[in-house]
Structure 1
């Protein structure tokens, strides 16, 4: 993803900078007392993420700049650069924050119950404009080393979280102990991503149940 005109990446904010808070519009000087976590620095972060999220929904992933975000959040652009370093890192943070990161991982006591709850929650996220934005971002990031690392981290966390459902099922003896958990997760979620990003098909309950049936049948065969 290209950086917008006029947006030149700055080094990300350090821990010391973050603790001191932004020094842009309305910011305090370095001579003031150190803010406690959850103070103005947290409010500024929330304002910037909310502004980015709303601009992404309204203008599209490439349709706004750091300056636009700063104006909407009422902060100085340098405050954003110090904390996030680039527009793309800010966009990833905002979208992940806006959709609550990942669908929650259920624990219903059975694998089938877990998969049913998980796929319904995932489908609900994917149906929302925010979820669709996040999915497009996760698969279309430019192949820079920085963004590739962000994308890989997102998919690693998503697959690890979903793997816990299958790992519990193995411990309950619902699945054989030699099941390839990573591959099981990929078989489970791939049809949802295909419909959302490629074919545009509906993610109805009948479709989700058929995905679960196919996945379980393959694991127990």
Structure 2
């Protein structure tokens, strides 16, 4: 192909390497697409990280399940609110207990603050520690003959002192909420091999009112006190012949 030059001369110009030019364009487009894909992955990873549970996230309000007491007989207990046992079953005959992962089912009114992830984790860890101390060597890790499975659900938990408390109504957070602590739980004991429910336990407690409550300015004073007591009571109930 001929073109006029700047001085009126004709000069032949051959177009070459058209395939190479197209190839370079493909490489460019591929690079752009790879960049976009990489950026998308980075955004996705960031959003996934943001979606992870924060220590201050509120636990969604949830109604506590009905106690599974079918086939069980209610027993009088001097301290625990509810104790149901399967007739003819001696809990002490098992001799060992394994702890199932704990759960929460805590219902809040619209004007109450939600339990935070940080507070829930403390409730689980503290109760686990107290149960391990109360049961001692009778606490095992795996199911087997003579092993009861203990599943605990906290149905209420109010620290004395909450930080960044999220309102149940979704109206934002409130710093430094002080309150009378309270807590409640329900527990199910099952035969770890058959899955048969042999006992159901439930209790609830609340701290002293202001200004007599010495735990008012602690974080978990009241709730921790209840957990310590419950762990000892559960261990005593399980390790002794509760049916007698």
TM-score, with structure 1 as normaliser: 0.27
Name the structure where helix makes up a greater proportion of residues: 1
Name the structure where strand makes up a greater proportion of residues: 2
From the CA coordinates, give the structure whose radius of gyration is larger.
2
